Structure 1
Amino acid sequence: MDCKSGFSWSLFAKMPVVGIMRMISCDLLLSVADIYCRNGFTTLEITVDSPGFDKALARCRASFQNKLNIGAGTVCCLKDLDRALEAGAQFVVTPNVNKPVIKQCKVLGIPIMVGAFSPTEVYRAWKHGASLVKLFPAGALVPSYLNDLKSGPMSQVDFLPTGGITFENATAYLAYGAKGIGVGSLLFDSELIEKRDWDALSIHFAQFSNLIREALNHHG
């Protein structure tokens, strides 16, 4: 079901990856986002600490209507949330459990992916109303940690492992029941972007999107 914000869960389900754009200049961001979209990705997060964040997010919303879910990441407080929503964010991602931010997103019908690490944080994030719990930093954990959580008292929680995702643990997390994954530096290769090597970046994106499709077909 789509949300008031325009976020499409059906679009997300086609390719359950939240690509995290951090500190990519506004003049390059649209080109990168276009290649990202053309390689089958459907959900893009732009962090609020990125240069020209407000302009970049607004331009992405205008350029990729009905093609990409565009959201704001590293939202740590209500001030960040206001800024994100003014720019047109369709979803919000936090690095921590911030009850006021979660509550405001629930009131406004904005999907929110809430950062948590320990079982206590996971429980609090879900209880307060997280749409997805961003298991973060996932690279510091073994994927079976997710299995331990989901096979116990938190079986109802939907997880989005993020931070330190690799080609190997991405498929493992999906195998253990992750709703999706959040991927930053692995996807958005800074060297390729700085060189504007769009052909190589497209190949790089395609490798990862194909990996996710194969994992979904295998486990779904």
Structure 2
Amino acid sequence: MTSIEQALAHMPLVAILRGIRPDEAAPVAGILYDAGFRCIEVPLNSPDPYASIRAMADALPGDCITGAGTVLDVASVARVSAAGGRIIVTPNTNADVIRATIAADMIAVPGVATATEAFVAVEAGARHLKLFPATTYGTGHLKALSSVLPTDVSILVTGGVSSSNIAEWKTAGAAGFGIGSELYRPGDTVEAVKTKAEALRAAIGG
């Protein structure tokens, strides 16, 4: 199975498909895979998210990690796993969710903002953190967090990250970038997603 490190090495962008419907999931995910994306999340506040996760997991090759975002409780972790998801992304730091994710042999990417939250997540077993909302804190905050965390912990950034500032975040040490509305908005055609995916790939030099 592909690790998140391998997925991000291939393309350091995580697609966030908030609002996608199950009938759109496989076609949109296929376009993203062709554009180089190897990590795709469906936020759980999307329509029938578990069906979308199942559709993507069934349609995509095994080197693409699919799963859920906006996961807020332990029960949801089990449902994502049953749908074929392999990654759990949260907007907050919930140690119980992190531990449940790791116990299910899934990838935990909890949301953190402060050093306190980051260390709570690390102590619960997370090795990939999501600085959220990134633009609220800025690149200086990312550098400061990185300087005190264990060297085997990486930070992805989400929230206000776009093709215009990816280079700045990359220089600050971000290991990956969660991309939402700049990549997909409800109602987008497959062709529109393809165009936006190619622009983002160009922005990271892919």
Flag whether TM exceeds 0.5 (same fold). Answer: yes
Asked if structure 2 preserves the Cα contact closer than 8 Å seen for 1:7 and 1:91, the reply is: no
Distance 2:37 2:107 in 1: 18
Match of 1:123 among 95, 106, 119: 119
In the alignment, what sits opposite 1:20?
A: 16
Residue 172 of structure 2 corresponds to residue 168 of structure 1? no
Match of 2:194 among 190, 202, 209: 202
Distance 2:90 2:127 in 1: 12
Residue identity in the other structure for 1:199 = E
Distance 1:8 1:116 in 2: 18
Residue 93 of structure 2 corresponds to residue 97 of structure 1? yes
Shift of 1:44: 0.2
Distance 2:109 2:144 in 1: 20
Distance 1:155 1:102 in 2: 17
Asked if structure 1 preserves the Cα contact closer than 8 Å seen for 2:81 and 2:104, the reply is: no
Residue 101 of structure 2 corresponds to residue 109 of structure 1? no
In the alignment, what sits opposite 1:141?
A: 137
Q: Specify whether residues 65 and 8 from structure 1 end up closer, same or farther in structure 2 by C-alpha distance, changes over 3 A only.
A: farther
In the alignment, what sits opposite 1:37?
A: 33
Shift of 1:18: 1.1
Asked if structure 1 preserves the Cα contact closer than 8 Å seen for 2:10 and 2:38, the reply is: yes
Distance 1:184 1:168 in 2: 14
RMSD: 1.8
In the alignment, what sits opposite 2:204?
A: 212
Asked if structure 2 preserves the Cα contact closer than 8 Å seen for 1:37 and 1:67, the reply is: no
The sequence identity of aligned pairs, in percent, is 29
Distance 1:86 1:105 in 2: 12
Asked if structure 2 preserves the Cα contact closer than 8 Å seen for 1:48 and 1:84, the reply is: no
Give 5+ residue unaligned stretches, structure 1: 215-220
Q: TM-score, normalised by structure 1?
A: 0.86
Give 5+ residue unaligned stretches, structure 2: none
Structure 1 residues 142-161: aligned runs within 5 Å: 142-151=138-147, 153-154=148-149, 156=151, 157-161=153-157
Residue identity in the other structure for 1:124 = V
Cα deviations by residue, 1:30-62 (Å, 9 ceiling, x for unpaired): 221111111111110011221121211111111
Cα deviations by residue, 1:49-89 (Å, 9 ceiling, x for unpaired): 21121211111111002242101111111111111111111
SS in 1 for 2:184: coil
Residue identity in the other structure for 1:88 = G
Shift of 1:117: 0.5
Shift of 1:7: 4.6
Residue identity in the other structure for 2:197 = F
Number of aligned residues = 205
Distance 2:112 2:161 in 1: 16
In the alignment, what sits opposite 2:72?
A: 76
Shift of 1:190: 4.1
Distance 2:21 2:192 in 1: 19
Asked if structure 1 preserves the Cα contact closer than 8 Å seen for 2:87 and 2:106, the reply is: yes
Match of 2:183 among 177, 183, 187: 187
